[in-house]
Structure 1
């Protein structure tokens, strides 16, 4: 995949993306809006790993005081997205392999189960929409449109997860997604075509209403993504740590 052109950083951007209400229906606070925008900018590669975060620039960008900016930065530090350094300020955290592995293991436990539950609840219209989203992802990947690819990939997966019949489970998965280094995964060679094929396998199982097959296809998809990412981060091939004999 050819990386998209780099977009504006907080020192250059003027208008942040509008935050949406949470799944619980609460209107986002200023802290939430700032945190959501920073997560997006990091996941789409607009804020590269190691970039310094300037509080005054963010305050101007969001037309707010320093207080909600500091609250947002503390929240993202707690999530491991940002790193605070004495006398240096805050920067975007590097992708830490051990943290990535932990997030992957949790995703492997939760997401296939959510998919299996969703298979019984998806309507034909839901599956048609998922098909269109898969096609849109393929087009975005071909064009190197990282922002569109990220957003559409999220919509594809959460079309299933939001139909699993358990809001708490969906929210837990969403929290894990926020900790996963999507920006790094997108520059891994050869994943675009593989991802497309894996999504097609998931769609085929969904059309049959086969929850077990959908869960299995999701396991394969998550495993392949993690192993490609692990190879990129460590420079070596590793065995899948979800198999307890390998970890």
Structure 2
């Protein structure tokens, strides 16, 4: 059962990763309590959980604010995402049904007129496949990795959006053909493309893909 703390966590996480709360924005506990109609306790607990995820930071005498991006931490998340998501798709390929494939095509064909809709469509497509991997805990692990990735920084990269759409089709085509290795490789390329877009948004911070070393 969802608690008030959980609702606060979910909404603040959505605001941050959806770009509604910019990086560095102060988060005053009293203002958040008024916004959510809650006491300070669930707000404080929610901020503690978001701090553990790396989405907010608490500084002495400065309070809590939306965290900036720790490039080392994001790079580590990217490495694990690339390996884990490719493995999940490789396992899912022989397990998806015709109905699953039809649903995946419908998801990709659905219009997404704003960044929030595009993010939701992206998530629905990927997890439709990940959930068929045959290892129930694996999609949960991937979901946790997604929570730690700063999607908000790439929301307005139109070139990336176009490339991502083509990559989704490549993944689905490979899965439809039953080619698990090709589907896994297409997934790796897709995750790598998202990371490259993030590095561009960060001004080329420590530019380079660790898989290229």
- TM-score band, normalised by the shorter chain? over 0.9
Deviation at 1:189, TM superposition (A): 4.5
Q: 2:88 aligns with which of 114, 119, 124?
A: 114
Matching residue of 2:66:
92
Residue deviations 1:153-207 (CA, integer Å, cap 9, x gap): 1111111111111121111111000010111022234101100110000010111
Deviation at 1:237, TM superposition (A): 8.4
- Give TM-score, length-normalised by structure 1: 0.82
Q: 2:188 aligns with which of 199, 219, 222?
A: 219
- Give TM-score, length-normalised by structure 2: 0.94
Residue deviations 1:59-96 (CA, integer Å, cap 9, x gap): 22322211111001011111111011112211111122
* 1:155 partnered with 2:124: yes
Supply the distance in 2 between the matched residues of 1:97 and 1:236 (Cα, whole angstroms).
Answer: 7
Supply the distance in 2 between the matched residues of 1:167 and 1:233 (Cα, whole angstroms).
Answer: 34
Q: Which has the higher helix share?
A: 2
Tell whether the 8 Å contact from 1:97 to 1:234 is kept in structure 2 after alignment.
Answer: no
Structure 2 unpaired stretches of 5+ = none
Q: 2:100 aligns with which of 105, 123, 126?
A: 126
Greater Cα shift, 75-84 or 52-61 = 52-61
Residue deviations 1:27-51 (CA, integer Å, cap 9, x gap): 2222222111111111111111111
Supply the distance in 2 between the matched residues of 1:70 and 1:222 (Cα, whole angstroms).
Answer: 34
Deviation at 1:132, TM superposition (A): 1.6
Residue deviations 1:219-245 (CA, integer Å, cap 9, x gap): 0101111112112213378332124xx
Matching residue of 2:148:
179
Supply the distance in 2 between the matched residues of 1:70 and 1:121 (Cα, whole angstroms).
Answer: 43
Count residues with an aligned counterpart: 213
Deviation at 1:109, TM superposition (A): 1.5
Supply the distance in 1 between the matched residues of 2:12 and 2:164 (Cα, whole angstroms).
Answer: 26
Supply the distance in 2 between the matched residues of 1:237 and 1:85 (Cα, whole angstroms).
Answer: 25
Q: 1:209 aligns with which of 154, 158, 178?
A: 178
Q: 1:193 aligns with which of 162, 180, 205?
A: 162
Tell whether the 8 Å contact from 1:227 to 1:237 is kept in structure 2 after alignment.
Answer: no
SS class of match (1:120): coil
Q: C-alpha root-mean-square deviation of aligned residues, in Å?
A: 1.5
Structure 1 unpaired stretches of 5+ = 1-26
Deviation at 1:150, TM superposition (A): 1.2
Matching residue of 1:3:
none
